[in-house]
Chain A
Amino acid sequence: MPNRNLGPIFVTVTSMREGVITATGLVKSFGGLVAVGGIDFTVMPGEAFGFLGPNGAGKTSTMRMIGCVSPPTTGDLQLFGLDPRHDGRTIRARLGVVPQMDQLDNELTVVENLLIYARYFDISRREARSRATELLEFVQLSERANSKVEPLSGGQKRRVSIARSLINDPDVLILDEPTTGLDPQARHVLWDRLYQLKEEGRTLVLTTHYMDEAEQLCDRLVVMDGGRIVAEGSPQSLIATYATREVLELRFGRGRNADHVADAAEVGERVEELPDRLLVYTTDGEGSLATLRNRNIVPDSALVRRSSLEDVFLRLTGRTLVD
């Protein structure tokens, strides 16, 4: 078994206090383009840590540095107390990686994909067989074991990728947008599996641009925008800090939303104007709506909901997360 039992004891002990992953002033540039512009974060053992951000925020660049397949331009990065620059092989032996784009062998069968990947970790063929069987069961693909990867659905391929990433029994699992492009049902199946991995005590590092995914899975997350971290905390604390308890969404119809920004501001703490609606941040959505109606201001439609990370993101960057 790679490392789970044999890993140096002091690493396990110190990492109980220090992070499994620590980054300080981490920068990645490609030529003149700065993809990651100096970020600091610490991932604690056993936690699910998320990177939330829009397209181009630098999430994948960060994941690839953590995965030791992309050398940082500057800054310091440590995993398990080791430096990827010198101990890449050792670190990668303890990581499981689910890349943004599946990198499966399309010509091989599902089970062959797992077996050959196990060989890359120098796991014996016999051991690989038994792990592959177990893992395919875990991702509910046992009956597809001998079919080629090519014709599988997106969600099934994703599950093959997850099974494959677990073949070395990794301490840390890195998932780059694990559910992007999947239908809601497939996403829920994946979330359930990821939740189980988290309960097993594995450290999860994941990126997403779905705030519901971040809220469901992450103990702690950072919000990234333009290569920088703009906020950090648990989903609840981020919402508490950057949003109010409730949001009142008002639609006045095309082109008339702007006319009511001032009215809305009087009944809430803050108003965001979007092209199709106004968002009124308030502790009591129904109360604010009632006040507006008393003043004879009647929207075409109104909706009260709880604040989400989407609102946090809007507050921090002035933009919506999914465009």
Chain B
Amino acid sequence: MATPAAVRIAERELLLYRRIWRENVIGAFVQPFLYLVGVGVGVGSLIDDGGDRAAILGETSYFAFYATALLATTTMFNTSQEALWPTMDGFRWSNAFRGMIGTPLEPRDLATAFLLTFGGRALVTSGGVACVLALFPSTRSLGLFGAVPAAVLCGLAFAMPIAAWTGSRDVDNTFPAILRFVVMPMFLFGGAFYPVEQLPRALEVIAWFTPLWHAIELCRGLVLGGVDTGSAVGHVSVLVSYIAAGWLACTIVFDRRLRP
């Protein structure tokens, strides 16, 4: 009857989430919808009428190209923020995580529980985007069912390393910089708005190492078709490596933070 420790920790998150689920779920639809109408439809019509589109995007409309990336980018933004301030609260402000390890739980259990809680949040976020994409014929595809788990991996690939960073901080003054100088550039240069081949070679190579590029390629390929098994496995492996490294960093950092 023993329930795994990480699940019991996640139960706390569920209790907290029950208080905000309505806003959160509604937000998960509304935010990508606005982005999609604003950028996808607006900019899309401008580009799709232009001359060189076919040379760069092939058969894909700009709308579909951009919309599929939103699965990964929206999830990235949301879980990254979750891993910053709300996580800091448990370590520093309410000290709830400190209370936790006075029980049989260990810092490592908390790191594992983060896989569940951030994964859950990523599921809601990417599920919301997928529902919005299902509204439009060009992105309505069975591939959405594969793209949602891919986006969840993307969310965790950001949340876990960032949570380790958060756990090592005494104050939150670096948090906006994480969003501005780590997350935001990936959004701009990670292949959401145009294929990374359009970038100067050096930036393109850098993009290959970011989790976001792999997640976008994976989501886009699954929804619009055109990702072969070999590259899909490659993308998943990179994302899983980021998650594994993040988890490992969390176990070390949390132990130092909570058991000085």
Whether chain B is bound by chain A comes out as yes
B2 to chain A, nearest CB (A): 6
Asked if B106 is at the interface of the complex by the 8 Å CB criterion, the answer is yes
Instruction: Report the bound CA distance from A89 to B96 in whole Å.
Output: 18
Instruction: Report the bound CA distance from A112 to B260 in whole Å.
Output: 28
On whether A92 and B99 interact (CB within 8 A), knowing A30-B260, A103-B94, the answer reads no
Q: How many residues of chain B have a CB within 8 Å of chain A?
A: 25
Interface pair B102/A92, CB less than 8 Å apart: yes
Give the contacting residue for A106; candidates B94, B104, B258; CB below 8 A.
Answer: B94
Interface pair B16/A108, CB less than 8 Å apart: yes
B 246-260 binary contact with A (CB < 8 Å = 1; else 0): 000000000000111
A162 to chain B, nearest CB (A): 13
Interface pair B8/A120, CB less than 8 Å apart: yes
Q: Which residue of B lies closest to A96 (CB)?
A: B102
**Residues of chain B with a CB closer than 8 A to A116's CB:** 11-12, 15
Instruction: Report the bound CA distance from A108 to B12 in whole Å.
Output: 9
A-B contact pairs, 27 of them (CB 8 A): A69-B101, A69-B259, A70-B260, A88-B106, A89-B104, A89-B106, A90-B104, A92-B102, A101-B95, A102-B95, A103-B96, A104-B94, A105-B12, A105-B94, A105-B99, A107-B19, A108-B15, A112-B15, A116-B12, A116-B15, A117-B99, A120-B8, A120-B104, A120-B105, A122-B3, A124-B1, A168-B103
Q: Find residues 6-35 in chain B having any chain A CB closer than 8 Å to their own CB.
A: 8-9, 11-12, 15-16, 19
**Residues of chain B with a CB closer than 8 A to A97's CB:** 102
B116 to chain A, nearest CB (A): 14
Asked if B98 is at the interface of the complex by the 8 Å CB criterion, the answer is yes
Interface pair A121/B104, CB less than 8 Å apart: yes
**Residues of chain A with a CB closer than 8 A to B19's CB:** 107
Main secondary structure of the interface of B (DSSP, over half): loop
Asked if A67 is at the interface of the complex by the 8 Å CB criterion, the answer is yes
Q: Which of A69, A101, A108 has the most CB of B within 10 A?
A: A69
Further pairs besides A92-B102, A107-B19: 19, Cβ < 8 Å = A30-B260, A67-B102, A69-B98, A69-B102, A71-B259, A90-B104, A92-B104, A99-B98, A103-B96, A105-B12, A105-B94, A105-B99, A108-B15, A116-B15, A119-B11, A119-B12, A120-B104, A121-B104, A122-B3
**Residues of chain A with a CB closer than 8 A to B102's CB:** 67, 69, 92, 95, 97, 99, 103
Q: Which 6 A-B pairs have the closest CB atoms?
A: A103-B99, A120-B103, A103-B95, A97-B102, A89-B104, A119-B8
Q: Which residue of B lies closest to A124 (CB)?
A: B1
Q: Find residues 203-260 in chain B having any chain A CB closer than 8 Å to their own CB.
A: 258-260
Interface pair B104/A104, CB less than 8 Å apart: no
Interface pair A121/B94, CB less than 8 Å apart: no
Instruction: Report the bound CA distance from A99 to B19 in whole Å.
Output: 27
Q: Which residue of A lies closest to B7 (CB)?
A: A119
Asked if B100 is at the interface of the complex by the 8 Å CB criterion, the answer is yes
Asked if A93 is at the interface of the complex by the 8 Å CB criterion, the answer is yes
**Residues of chain B with a CB closer than 8 A to A102's CB:** 95
Instruction: Report the bound CA distance from A95 to B2 in whole Å.
Output: 20
**Residues of chain A with a CB closer than 8 A to B101's CB:** 69
A103 to chain B, nearest CB (A): 3
**Residues of chain B with a CB closer than 8 A to A121's CB:** 103-104
Q: Which residue of A lies closest to B2 (CB)?
A: A122
Q: Which residue of A lies closest to B98 (CB)?
A: A103
Give the contacting residue for A120; candidates B9, B258, B260; CB below 8 A.
Answer: B9
Q: Which of A102, A116, A124 has the most CB of B within 10 A?
A: A116
B259 to chain A, nearest CB (A): 5
**Residues of chain A with a CB closer than 8 A to B99's CB:** 99, 103-105, 117
Instruction: Report the bound CA distance from A101 to B9 in whole Å.
Output: 21
Q: Which residue of B lies closest to A112 (CB)?
A: B15
Q: Which residue of B lies closest to A28 (CB)?
A: B260
Q: Which of A70, A71, A120, A168 has the most CB of B within 10 A?
A: A120
**Residues of chain A with a CB closer than 8 A to B95's CB:** 101-103
Q: Which residue of A lies closest to B4 (CB)?
A: A122
Q: Which residue of B lies closest to A106 (CB)?
A: B94
Q: Which residue of B lies closest to A98 (CB)?
A: B102
Instruction: Report the bound CA distance from A108 to B90 in whole Å.
Output: 13
Give the contacting residue for A92; candidates B1, B12, B103; CB below 8 A.
Answer: B103
Q: Which residue of A lies closest to B97 (CB)?
A: A103
